[in-house]
Chain A
Amino acid sequence: MKKILMAIASAALACGIGFAAVGCSSNGDISVYNREDGSGTRDAFLELLGIESDELNTGVAQLNSTSAVIQGVAGDVKAIGYASLGSVDTTVKALSVDGVAPTEATVADGSYKVSRPFELMYDETELTSNDLLAEFVEYLKSAEAQTIIADEGYVSVVENAPAYTVPEGNLTVTEIEASGSTSVGPLMTKLAAGFSAKVEEATGQEVQVTVSGGGSGQGIKDANEGNTEIGMASKEVTKGTDVTNENVTIYQLCADGIAVIVNTANPATDISLENLKKIYTDKSLNWSDIGVMFPEEK
């Protein structure tokens, strides 16, 4: 009995030691942090960098939340990670990409490359017949909506937004639907809830903005064909090429910026988009390979 146990234990121990000795060789010294498969931030980051999910350098950790990534990078000198711009704090350092620092201004105007606009598409002519749609669009441009957008970590693109006032009397339409990008979806759900609460508080009427998914392509299609009242896309859409329906207006709801974060002890301040892509696809890369020299290695 004891012998069997000892044999099992020592075999396991030997395995473990063998493991430890064999490993640690082929990987570079960059601790790459990712979000888990399915995360909207991860999807956006990979899409913006043009990386397929199966060529991704899975790195040292795929964490379930933005705060976990920030915490991981804050405690790991050789780390690199990414997080929604609004949630980055001073425990980590956000790098500029291709010389452009990630700020609300550079994200809003699109010059910061790891960013994307959230676009909405709706039929301009419907606004007169569908008062709920007209009011909701009005609400999206208001100060209240900008607060929600900022709270969710996105960058507002509307300056000096007016406060929203609910019109007197009941609305004739009580339900509309927004469909499309699953990245925009969670924000739209929050905005829809804020709008419904505001209307119910003022007039007691219950209105509903249903948010469904399908992806940006579906959102554009739905807006063109009028399947739903609002189409949502998490990429730039242009009139004529994407939006073929003459009556459809494109409204930029906000911008989504993803900050590339490193440990505060990392000497780098800037990274090229190309190097960023290399780090996230090549496991064997070291910081020195992209010209970042840590003080102790000099």
Chain B
Amino acid sequence: MQKNSENAENAEMSESIAKVNTRAVIKEISMKVLFAIAAALFVLAVLTICIYLLIDAIPTIGEIGFVKFLTDDRWLIRSERFGIGSLVVGTALSTVGALVVGVPIGLMTATFMAFYCPKWLYKIIKPLTNILAGIPSIVYGFFGLTVIVPISRELLGGGGLNLLTTSFVLGIMILPTIISISENSLRAVPKPFYEGAVALGATKERAIFRTMFPAASSGVLTAIILGMGRAIGETAAITLICGNIDQIPGSLADPFITLASAIASGMGYASTTNLERPALIAVAAVLLIIILLITTVVMLLKKKKY
């Protein structure tokens, strides 16, 4: 290395900068690769699940008969009756029931939290919704079995394991999803919207329901649809409280079965040597397709602003 001029000093400096730069670049590239691998693994996992289920399910459904699979209302895997009619209807009814219970309570709670709640109370309610979201679903099931089932038995007679009980428990389970997402989207609406409405003479309620809610509509809808997704896929709690009977419920007091609980209660016995196990996988594929559809709807809604 030369020693005599300023040039030399400059050269030395730029060299060290270059050194640092190459090191930083290498670090950056390696981290990039690491992140890319992680992302690739995740994508691979999702794709594997989808492809595996569909590849397994399609021939099975073909063997059972597509129309028979969808419309037969008896699900007796031991007697080779693979009809998911009652399962689909049961899933749909319990989901509607959950929404009837969960959506009004959830949206009103979100409104309260976003606009009415004093700060000290918010500090209590917000963590509570997070706790509600974190409770394992089997605990909800147990709560339903020991608390709601006896009440329902008292009110409606029969076993207490029925559509009403399940709707109620599911409604509580989807609350955290609905509350937190719709509250966030209500808060994301710019303040001037609200201020403008009030300045024009609207009451607080009017400003909230006529200005803020329409502005946050995509977020609120996302909240409801994600709650719906949770209700459709819920397994552990439902298996305990739905009664697991492969019938289309004639009333709120009737037991029923859902897609997810049919898989859960059938898996323990299903034999791989005949159609039993493949039929359960076909049900799982149907469930997956329903959830994929819902996710797609949510993605389309998210393109909107709030």
Contacts and interface: CB of A to CB of B under 8 A. Distances in A.
Interface string B140-163: 000000000110010011111111
Nearest to A72: B159
Contacts of B68: none
Interface residues of B, number: 50
Given A31-B159, A76-B153, A64 B100 contact: no
A38 B268 contact: yes
A15 interface: yes
B100 A12 contact: yes
Interface in B159-182: 159-164
A24 B249 CA distance: 10
A141 to B, nearest CB: 31
Size band of the A side of the interface? 35 or more
Interface string B237-278: 001100111110111111100000000011011100000000
B77 interface: yes
B97 A16 contact: yes
Nearest to A36: B265
Given A12-B100, A37-B78, A64 B150 contact: no
Contact of A38 (B100, B107, B266): B266
Interface in B60-107: 74-79, 81, 96-97, 99-100, 103-104, 107
A64 B244 contact: yes
A62 B81 contact: no
B194 interface: no
Interface in A35-64: 36-39, 43, 52-54, 58-64
5 contacts: A23-B254, A53-B76, A61-B159, A62-B245, A76-B159
Given A1-B214, A13-B100, 8 more contacts: A2-B209, A5-B107, A15-B96, A16-B96, A20-B253, A31-B158, A38-B269, A61-B159
Interface of A: 1-2, 5, 9, 12-13, 15-16, 19-24, 26-27, 29, 31, 33, 36-39, 43, 52-54, 58-64, 68, 72, 75-76, 78-79
